[in-house]
Structure 1
Amino acid sequence: MTEPPMSLAGLAARLTEQASALAESLGNPVAQPAYLNLVRIAQDVDGLAEQVLKLCVQQSRDAGHTWQEIGDLLGVTRQAAFQRFGKPIDPRTGEPMDKTVRMADAAARAIEIAAAVLDGRMDEARKSFNAEVLAAFTDEVRLNGLATVTGLVGAFEDFGEGEPFVRRIGDHTVVDIPLRHEAGEMKARVAFDADEKVAALLILAPETP
């Protein structure tokens, strides 16, 4: 039998307990703290804080606040806020959409594929494409796309700062990867289908939802 979800007050109380335990361990000048235990406690704090944030967002939505207001508060677009905290209903089934990311290696694979495309190693990249992308993503399409991006922000230099952003959107696992060009920032977006094949690969402005 599964336990019912904890209330916001209950989660906040647990978060306070764990944060206090972390502060006590860090502030003890006598005994050297067990560093792996600090990592464990910090991970618990991080997980509890995420649950508290999700419930606070849900209550804000229930109270009538918009995704724009929530996004502004969190420093992201309204679509990014919705993708992180929203509970979309699948029009095919009428059930809440599953947002669980099951590709444990999605970020690493997306970086490898984006690097191969940017470096021109297309034989390597195409091994990960699904049939539709394999047919559409010709060398000409690649070069035309890179020419457009180069005209906007100059040549690609390296991957940018920050971790790849991984989430599930509908039936796809989508990864955004920061890119650094000589005159600006961009991001690569790699979408994997249910078979973990590349269903889309784009270079976008960093503010694109």
Structure 2
Amino acid sequence: MTDSPLSLTALSAQLAEQASALAASAGSPLTSPAYLDLVRRAQQVDALAEQVLKLCVQQSRDAGHTWQELGDLLGVTRQAAFQRFGKPIDPRTGEPMDKTVHMTDAAERATRIVTDVLEGRMDAARPSFNAELLAAFTDQVRADGLATVAGLVGAFEGFGDGEPFVRRIGDHTVVDIPLRYEAGDMKARVAFDTEEKAAGIFILPAETA
């Protein structure tokens, strides 16, 4: 028998207790090993805060609030809010879709692929492509795509601030990687299929959901 989910009241109480413990530890004189304990406590607070936020969003949806309202409050698009907190139903089965990311190295692999593509090492990138992408993503397609991006935001200057963002969308594992160009920020998006092969590579405006 599995435990029932904790209520918002119980989770909030746990969060308050952990946050108080963190504040007490941070306010005390620290020796070197204690800094690692501070990180552990902060990690626990962060995990509990995420659970509280998810439950608050769920209850707001149950009360009739829209994804647009929640996105505005969280400072993201309604699509981004849904992708983070929603519970999509698979139209093929009628069951909730699995949002668990199973590719533990998705961020590293996506970053490597994007680096190879941007630097023209297509022979290194192509072994990671599935058959459809291998056929579609020719050297000409790459050149035309990069020319379009250069026309919008100028020369590529390097990877942007922030870590790659990995999530599961439908049957795909999707990774967004911040990129910095001379006239604006963009992001690379790599989608992996169920065989963990790259099924799509895009360069998009940074605000794209």
TM-score in terms of structure 2 length: 0.97
Residue 170 of structure 2 corresponds to which residue in structure 1? 170
Q: How many Å apart are 1:39 and its aligned residue?
A: 1.5
Separation of aligned partners in 2, 1:38 and 1:162:
22
Separation of aligned partners in 1, 2:138 and 2:157:
23
Residue 93 of structure 2 corresponds to which residue in structure 1? 93
Can you list the C-alpha shifts for 1:120-150, whole angstroms capped at 9, x where unaligned?
0000000100000001100000000001000
- Amino acid paired to 1:205: P
SS at match of 1:51: helix
- What root-mean-square deviation, in Å, do the aligned CA atoms of Structure 1 and Structure 2 show? 1.0
- Amino acid paired to 2:92: R
- Structure 1 unaligned regions, length at least 5: none
Separation of aligned partners in 2, 1:87 and 1:177:
24
SS at match of 1:34: helix
Residue 145 of structure 2 corresponds to which residue in structure 1? 145
- Amino acid paired to 1:206: A
- Amino acid paired to 1:110: A
- Amino acid paired to 2:85: F
Residue 117 of structure 1 corresponds to which residue in structure 2? 117
SS at match of 1:55: helix
Equivalent positions of 1:56-205 (< 5 A) are 56-205=56-205
Separation of aligned partners in 1, 2:202 and 2:171:
18
Residue 9 of structure 2 corresponds to which residue in structure 1? 9
Q: How many Å apart are 1:185 and its aligned residue?
A: 1.0
SS at match of 2:175: strand
Separation of aligned partners in 2, 1:93 and 1:198:
25
Q: How many Å apart are 1:168 and its aligned residue?
A: 0.2
Separation of aligned partners in 1, 2:82 and 2:177:
19
Separation of aligned partners in 2, 1:36 and 1:146:
44
Can you list the C-alpha shifts for 1:157-177, whole angstroms capped at 9, x where unaligned?
101111111100000000011
Identity of aligned residues (%): 77
Separation of aligned partners in 2, 1:101 and 1:177:
16
- Amino acid paired to 1:195: E
Residue 55 of structure 1 corresponds to which residue in structure 2? 55
Q: How many Å apart are 1:183 and its aligned residue?
A: 1.1
Indicate yes or no: 2:38 matched with 1:38. Answer: yes
SS at match of 1:176: strand
Q: How many Å apart are 1:56 and its aligned residue?
A: 0.3
- Structure 2 unaligned regions, length at least 5: none
Q: How many Å apart are 1:40 and its aligned residue?
A: 1.4
Q: How many Å apart are 1:38 and its aligned residue?
A: 1.5
SS at match of 2:3: coil
Over 3 Å off, 4+ runs: none
Separation of aligned partners in 2, 1:27 and 1:184:
41
Separation of aligned partners in 2, 1:72 and 1:154:
30
- Amino acid paired to 1:25: S
Can you list the C-alpha shifts for 1:88-134, whole angstroms capped at 9, x where unaligned?
00001111000000111111111110010000000000010000000
